[in-house]
Amino acid sequence: MKYEKKLGKTLGMGQSMLDVRGLRKVYEGSGRRVEAVGNLTFTVDAGELVCLVGPSGCGKTTLLKCVAGLLTPTSGEVLLEGRPVSGPPPGMAVVFQEYGRSLFPWMRVGANVELPLRQKPLTKARRRALVADALASVGLADATGAYPWQLSGGMQQRVAIARALAYEPDVLLMDEPFAAVDAQTRADLEDLVRGLWRERGITILFVTHDIDEAVYLGERVLVLSASPTVVREQVKVDLPEARDQLRTRVAPRFAELRTRVYEQIQAAKRGTA
C-alpha cells in the first residue's frame, strides 16, 4: 500500500504526530507590542483530522505559520514526530487561503504540482506518477495542461490541495482554505478533504473561522480564545465517520456540537471564561 506509512494505524493510534507546547508569539514593532498567540498547547495524533476554530482575528494564521515553521515562535516549541520544528520541515505541506497567490501563474497545473517534488530525490517517472495520482484524486486529471488562472477558484484550490497531496506530507496544514470560494464549491471541497483524509489516512490540521465547517470536518475541534490565543476547549466530534452534507448537517448531534462550539466562540469574543 502506497500510503501505508501515513496511516495512523501503522504508527499506532495515540502517538502524537504533532505536538505544540506552550507556543507563544509576540510581534514587536514601532513601539507596539502585540501578543498574537498567548500560550498554546495541543497535540494532533497520527491520522487525525483536527479543526482549529476561533473568533476572527484571534491569531489563527500566526499559529499555523509557527506550526509550519514559517514563523519563529517567541517561546514554546512545535514537535513533528518528536523532532522540533525550526524551519519548514520536509514532512509538512501547507494549503493557504489565497489560492490565487499560492499557485504559480507562470506554470501549468502539472508543473505547479510537480515543482515541490523536484526538491525531493525522486525519479522522473515517480514524480509524474505522484502528480497524475494527486490530480486524479482531486478530480482534475484533465487539467494538467491548463494554467491556474484559466480555472475557477474552487478548481484552483483543488490544484493547491493536489500539490500538497503529491508532496506526501506527514501533516497537512490548511489555513482557512475555503474562505474565498462560494458556498456550493465550499461544500464540495469539504467533502473532498474529508474523503481524501479517510482514503489516505493523512494527518490534517485545519484552521477555519466557520463553526459548521469545523464540526462537519473534524474528529476533534479545538476552540481558540481571542488574542492572545489559548485553547479554550476541546470538543470531540462523535459523529459517524461517513458524513454527508445533507444528513450530517441536520443530525441532532451535529446541532448540539455546533451549539457547544458556538457558545464557546461567543464567550471567547466577550472575553469571559
Partner 1 sequence: MKRLALRLFFVVALPALLVAAWWLTSDDSTDVYWPPLRTILTTFPDVWTGERLRADVLPSVLRLLAGYAAAAVGGVALGTVIGSYRRVRAVCEPVLEFLRAVPPPVLVPVVMLFAGIGDSMKIAVIASGCVWPVLLNTVEGVRAVDPVMSQTARSYGITGMARLRDVVLRSASPQIFAGLRQALSIGIILMVISEMFAASNGIGFTIVQFQRGFAIPDMWTGILVLGLLGFLLSLVFHLVERRVLAWYHGLRAASRRSS
Which residue ranges make up the site for partner 1 (CB under 8 A)? 65, 68-70, 88, 90, 92-94, 96, 98, 101-102, 104-107, 115-116, 118-119, 147, 149-150, 163, 167
Please state, in angstroms and rounded to a whole number, the distance separating the CA atoms of residues 95 and 98: 9
SS3 at position 102? helix
Q: Which helix (H) or strand (E) holds 109?
A: helix 109-114
Specify the residue, 133 or 191, whose C-beta has the smaller distance to partner 1: 133
Q: What is the closest distance, in whole angstroms, from the C-beta atom of residue 101 to partner 1 in the complex? A: 4
Shorter beta-carbon distance to partner 1: residue 87 or 252: 87
Q: Grid coordinates representing 14?
A: 495515540
Smallest gap from Cβ 164 to partner 1, in A, equals 9
Cell numbers given for 207? 484552521
Identity of the residue, 85 or 193, whose beta carbon is nearer to partner 1 in the bound complex? 85
Q: Around Cβ 84, how many Cβ atoms within 10 Å? A: 12
Alpha-carbon span 100 to 215, nearest angstrom: 27
- Could you tell me the end-to-end alpha-carbon distance of the chain, in angstroms, rounded to an integer? 47
Q: In the bound complex, what is the minimum distance in angstroms from residue 216's beta carbon to partner 1? A: 26
- Could you say which DSSP state residue 165 is in? H
Cβ proximity to partner 1, 12 vs 88, nearer residue:
88
Report angle CA 46, 265, 202 to the nearest 5 degrees.
15
N residues, the chain: 273
Query: Nearest distance from residue 215's CB to partner 1, in Å?
Result: 27
Measured distance CA(203)–CA(174) in Å, rounded = 11
- 25-48 burial, b at 16+ Cβ within 10 Å, e below that, comes to beeeeeeeeebbbbebebebbbbb
Complex with partner 1: residue 99 or 216, whichever CB lies closer:
99
If the CB atoms of residues 61 and 245 are measured against partner 1, the closer one turns out to be 61
| Closer to partner 1 by Cβ: residue 16 or 97 | 97
Q: Which of 35, 32, 82 is closest to 63 using CA atoms?
A: 35
CB 205 within 8 A of CB 197: no
